[in-house]
Amino acid sequence: MEWHPSPNFGPRRAGLRPSMIVLHYTGMRGAEDALARLCDPAAEVSAHYMIGTCGRLWQMVPDEMRAWHAGAGAWRGLQDINSRSIGVELVNSGTQPFAQPQMERLEQLLTSLMQRWQIPAQAVIAHSDMAPDRKDDPGPKFDWPRLARQALAFWPEGYGPDLPLARSLDTIGYPPAAAEKRLQAFRARFLPFAQGDESALDRRRAACVAAAL
Q: Which tens digits make up the pLDDT trace of 152-166?
A: 999 999 999 999 999
- If one looks up domain 2-148 in CATH, what number appears? 3.40.80.10
Q: What is the pLDDT of residue 12?
A: 98
Q: What is the mean pLDDT of residues 8-31?
A: 96
Q: How far is CA 38 from CA 26, 89, 106, 109, in A?
A: 9, 10, 19, 19
Q: What is the pLDDT of residue 13?
A: 97
Q: What is the pLDDT of residue 185?
A: 98
Q: Provide the pLDDT confidence category of residue 67 given band limits of 50, 70 and 90.
A: very high
Active-site hit among 32, 44, 89, 107? 89
Q: What is the mean pLDDT of residues 75-89?
A: 98
Residue type, 29: R
Q: What is the pTM of this model?
A: 0.98
Does the pLDDT value for residue 29 go beyond 90? no
Angle between helices 179-190 and 200-212 (to 10 degrees): 70
Residues across the chain: 213
Among 151, 157, 159, smallest CA distance to 205 is for 159
Residues of the chain with pLDDT > 90: what percent?
Answer: 99
Angle between helices 179-190 and 165-172 (to 10 degrees): 60
Catalytic residue flag (residue 107): no
Lowest mean pLDDT among 16-20, 94-98, 185-189, 201-205: 94-98
Among 199, 76, 172, 185, smallest CA distance to 138 is for 185
Residues contacting 198, CB < 8 A, separation 6+: 165, 179, 183
Does the pLDDT value for residue 33 go beyond 90? yes
Q: What is the pLDDT of residue 24?
A: 98
- Domains of the chain, residue spans: 2-148, 165-212
